[in-house]
Structure 1
Amino acid sequence: MRELLLIGIGVGDPDQVTVQAVKAMNTADVFFVIGKGDEKQELVDLRTGLLAEHVTHPHRVVDIVDPPRDRTPSDYRGVVEDWHEKRAALFETEFAATGEDVGAILVWGDPALYDSTIRIVERVLARGNVTFEWSVVPGVTSVHALAAAHRTVLHRVGEPIHITTGRRLAEGLPDGIDNVVVMLDAHCTFTQVPGDDVHIWWGAYLGTPDEVLVSGNLREVEEQIVRVRAELRARKGWIMDTYMLRRG
């Protein structure tokens, strides 16, 4: 493989794939697709649907089974480090085996925001067993999709915005920050945020036909979000959601 493309494909809506991404996809000879088991087969199907809609260039698809990892570890960084190493080994094997000229990985949202693909590619190259040129094509993130779906902005005039995870939100909102976007929250940590003057904009399955939105005063809608989220996850077997909090 001479070249690898990391292509941000947005959060599910094929119309959110950029023109730059479509052009890049049509130069690829092989696509490496990571699967996360039967529960998330729908995510793989969305990727293959994107290929069917946007790619006219002859290509093939290589399925890679994502290695499992502990979702409730005592040593979070250690578990993630081990997971990245296993992922790198899988990618290295497939990169070395491919005879095609240009490969591509389709990345949900944008590769720069809470995604490990760039780190894994750097890790593969650091091993020194395979070499290739590589580049990144940006995509629409769930943060952008959330704001657009709710027809709102991420911050008030002149104010900063903080993007974090549910794990870090559990430590409390940062001092002096009133606008917070939270990703990767499996435990509805917003219920732990104090105050009666906090507004929430929440969205699940953003950019897909199953998109669900809830917004309002946090204290008034938090129980609704917890219930809806549990119902959605039970029905589909998986959930991807993002939300924004604003004080004052």
Structure 2
Amino acid sequence: MMTLTLIGIGCGDPGQLTRAAIEAINAADLVLIPRKGSAKSDLADLRRTICADVLTNDATRIAEFDLPVRDAGETEYRKGVDDWHDAVAATWSQTIENHLGSDGKAALLIWGDPSLYDSSLRIARRLVPLPKIEVVPGITSIQALCAAHALPLNDIGEPFLVTTGRRLREGGWPQGVDTVVVMLDGGTAFQSLDPKGLHIWWGAYLGMADQIILSGALAEVGPRIVTARREARERHGWIMDSYILKRRP
């Protein structure tokens, strides 16, 4: 039976790999490296670097493939994502079949951790035939962001909420919490909030050589983040960022 191992690799720093992740990479017959276009070639390069650093099993092969692009013109968000996941699953299945056949161990290096705002587990369950699925956890961008700012995520005895930029923009500040973690923000959804009493801890390219972090009162730091984000995106052609907002008296 085919086994597919989803290996959390952290946020870009090879030093964030756990021993379990290194062992799983070396236990694989095939490591899959997705390519997301020239604008995000850094992500494939970092996966290649990780393999070059830790792969000691000469029998492990590496196969690269191009990821399907989600149709941004799809009017229904959920259907667009669902169709995209079907296309990605078909690409995974075909790549595994081409390079490994129907038996063996394939591995995918997952940015951050497969359990948090990553669809790899949902996509893996669409593969035909369905493989045995294993998961090796990794350091999430939330952990990396808190570490970069030396920030405890939750206040004493208080909850926090993890959400997306789209939901923050559409729904405003969530009820019942004073700490919000925002991921997958294609823009700067914090600009839709009243900044009074809000503080922000923002980070981009966390764990990478080009890491950028900014923090402070949202009213003061927000415009600086907007500028830094725009300049970084123009420089790299892509950006991966997240932030924490806390409501203070």
Q: Shared fold by TM > 0.5? A: yes
Corresponding residue of 2:136: 137
Corresponding residue of 2:13: 13
Q: Tell me how far 1:133 sits from its aligned partner.
A: 2.0
Residue of structure 2 aligned with 1:110, choices 93, 110, 113: 113
Describe the SS at the equivalent of 2:129.
Answer: coil
In structure 2, distance between residues paired with 1:137 and 1:71:
31
Task: Answer yes or no: is the 8 Å Cα contact 1:31–1:61 preserved in 2.
Answer: yes
Describe the SS at the equivalent of 2:106.
Answer: strand
Gaps of 5+ in 2: none
Q: Tell me how far 1:132 sits from its aligned partner.
A: 3.1
In structure 2, distance between residues paired with 1:82 and 1:159:
38
* Deviations 1:77-129 (CA, angstroms, capped at 9, x unpaired): 111011001011111112223147211000000000111111111011xxxx4
Task: Answer yes or no: is the 8 Å Cα contact 2:165–2:185 preserved in 1.
Answer: yes
Corresponding residue of 1:163: 162
* Deviations 1:49-80 (CA, angstroms, capped at 9, x unpaired): 00111110122211121111134643111110
* Matched AA of 2:122: R
Gaps of 5+ in 1: none
Corresponding residue of 2:71: 70
In structure 2, distance between residues paired with 1:108 and 1:96:
23
Q: Tell me how far 1:167 sits from its aligned partner.
A: 0.4
Task: Answer yes or no: is the 8 Å Cα contact 1:84–1:120 preserved in 2.
Answer: yes
Aligned length: 244
Task: Answer yes or no: is the 8 Å Cα contact 1:162–1:180 preserved in 2.
Answer: yes
Task: Answer yes or no: is the 8 Å Cα contact 2:9–2:113 preserved in 1.
Answer: yes
Q: Tell me how far 1:197 sits from its aligned partner.
A: 0.6
* Matched AA of 1:118: L
In structure 2, distance between residues paired with 1:108 and 1:131:
22
RMSD: 1.3
Corresponding residue of 1:209: 209
Q: What percentage of aligned pairs have identical amino acids?
A: 46
* Matched AA of 2:213: L
Task: Answer yes or no: is the 8 Å Cα contact 1:96–1:130 preserved in 2.
Answer: no
* Matched AA of 1:199: H
* Matched AA of 1:105: L
* Matched AA of 1:110: D
* Matched AA of 2:116: L
In structure 1, distance between residues paired with 2:245 and 2:133:
36
In structure 2, distance between residues paired with 1:71 and 1:154:
33
Q: Tell me how far 1:134 sits from its aligned partner.
A: 2.1
Corresponding residue of 1:152: 151
* Matched AA of 2:42: E
